[in-house]
Amino acid sequence: MTTAREIMSSGAECVRTDQTAADAARLMAELGVGGLPICGPDDKIKGVVTDRDLIVKVVAQGRDVGTFPAGDLNQAEAVTVGADDPAEEVLATMGRHKVRRLPVIDGQQLVGMISLSDVARSLPHTEVGELVDALSTD
């Protein structure tokens, strides 16, 4: 049984709720990623911010990326998966919530991120195709 820990990219970093959208963009550029978990002062994951979120919710709205709080980009509920959860749960969670990036936690601690490309590299084509289909439908 393949687990989330085996699929994930380890060493994920958070942007903090008290940092800015510009900080999030800089961190994404430094790490070469398209999304970051947003973590609060308690180190718990509050959500995920993507490069698309920054464009649509900040830049396109004419907001100042240098002052717009990254914490304001949180979702209503952070969607995560446990490190030891099976791959089937990862796929189901991504499909159910229509997310392409999923923080992986061990207890309450962030241990990695799973992206659609991680899934594509790790799982059979049929399962990947089903996930892509689920993410592509409204």
Q: Which CATH class is domain 4-136?
A: alpha beta
For tokens 């919710």, the residue is 57
Q: What is the distance, to the nearest Å, from the Cα of residue 87 to the centroid of all Cα atoms in its chain?
A: 16
CA distance 114 to 136: 18
Assess whether pLDDT exceeds 80 at residue 76.
Answer: no
Domain ranges of the chain: 4-136
First to last CA, the chain: 30
Assess whether pLDDT exceeds 70 at residue 127.
Answer: no
Assess whether pLDDT exceeds 70 at residue 109.
Answer: yes
Share of the chain above pLDDT 90, in %: 54
> What 3-state DSSP class applies to 19?
coil
